[in-house]
Amino acid sequence: MDRGCVVTRRGYRQTPEHIAKRIKSGPDHWNWAGDEVSRRGGRARALRQYPNRPCEECGAENADRHHADGNTANNEPGNIKFLCDACHGAEHKRMGTHRASESSQLAERAAKLTEAAAAEKRARAKCKRNHLLSGTNLYVTPDGKRVCKECRKLTSRRHRQNRKQG
């Protein structure tokens, strides 16, 4: 048995040089995106390119790679800083790109969409079974929901029947 060979698949032995020759990365890879890489792809490149080091600010062991200019595709050595979670968050706050501002914007947008959907539902003239939601057929629940009385009767009957059978 050759000591310089590595078994890659059953029945195939290849030297480390041969394996290294087959591995294609960077511009030689068929799926290379160059500077058009996604944010996630840029972060993955930085993880592969730069081994883990301690935080540059406080010296903590586990540090993230921080892109100083905010562009994750730019993995030049001068653009990468190693920062722990706390220092990384503080850096993003200074830059004005902190996730808290993103999450508050998302929450605001969700609240607007919810209010718009509620207003649309309040404006409906008929229920899902096409009964009118007005006059004697309208029941308003204690929490303010508008319910069709016909549908409510059908649901109550079905519930009673299920209780008798079950």
Of all residues in the chain, the percent with pLDDT exceeding 70 is: 88
Q: Residue 161 is inside which H or E element, if any?
A: helix 149-165
Q: Are 43 and 76 in contact (CB under 8 A)?
A: no
- Per domain, the residue ranges of the chain are 33-100, 124-166
Task: State how far the Cα of 134 lies from the Cα of 57, in Å rounded to an integer.
Answer: 66
pLDDT tens-place string over residues 92-147? 887 776 666 566 778 888 889 999 988 887 788 888 889 988 889 998 889 888 88
